[in-house]
Amino acid sequence: MFNGVLDELVNNLKTMPGIGLKTAQRLALHLISIEKTTAMKIADSITDSVNSYKHCAQCNILSETDPCNFCSDSSRNSQVICVVENTQDAYLIEKLHEFKGRYFVLNELLSPLDGIGPDEINFPKLYKLINSEEVVEIILALNPSAEGESTINYLASQFEDKPIKITRLSTGLPFGGDIEYTSSLTLSNALKRRYLVSD
């Protein structure tokens, strides 16, 4: 059914997160069936975005400017650094309007089997940032996966000799969740991070 450039378009769309084969096929057919001017506007906006966005030299977040808006904002607390895996995670946290510090994007999580070590997660850049600022707290806002846990443990060990508070996001049972259907990792984290009922 799909061949030539259309098949190539489908395969390229499939590389996007959350896009499976059927969705990629539907999007590809939609793009070639709409007005050519509309389709080309979409293509141009993709090209412009890809060419305009780059990694901030300080925090590694994807931004149109360097330094990014977070790093150039003097009202933000540069003594608190929130470490995230990717740019999307930083924006999700920012939408909460709870965090007023600075961010640092790793872009990867440690995974030795996949050849992802400290250099690949931009640890040298993070270490330099921590040393150049009077950082009092590092928040490790990483997914509680095997790779996330390994990265959290590694980063915590690298800064344990410094007078810096190392914190992580709370993990455990979600409100309304059912213990019966909770993964063993989630349940284990909930048990480890239990707190007093009176708190």
The CATH number given to whatever domain includes residue 27 is: 1.10.8.420
Spatial CA neighbour of 107 closest among 138, 147, 68? 147
Is 151 in the same domain as 64? yes
Please tell me the predicted confidence (pLDDT) of residue 189: 78
| pTM metric for this prediction | 0.84
Show the tokens assigned to 181: 């259907």
Is 41 in the same domain as 68? no
Does residue 182 fall inside a structural domain? no
Is 93 in the same domain as 129? yes
> 33 is in which domain, residue-wise?
4-52
CA-to-CA dists, residue 63 to 24, 28, 95, 133, 189, angstroms? 27, 28, 16, 21, 34
Spatial CA neighbour of 99 closest among 109, 84, 85? 84
Please tell me the predicted confidence (pLDDT) of residue 181: 79
pLDDT averaged per 10 residues, the chain (length 199): 88 95 96 96 96 96 96 96 95 92 96 92 94 91 89 94 90 75 78 69
Coil, strand or helix: which one is 108?
Answer: coil
Is 21 in the same domain as 63? no
Does residue 199 fall inside a structural domain? no
Q: Say which DSSP state 164 is in.
A: -
Number of structural domains found in the chain: 2
Is 68 in the same domain as 149? yes
Task: Count Cβ atoms below 10 Å from residue 100 Cβ, excluding itself.
Answer: 11
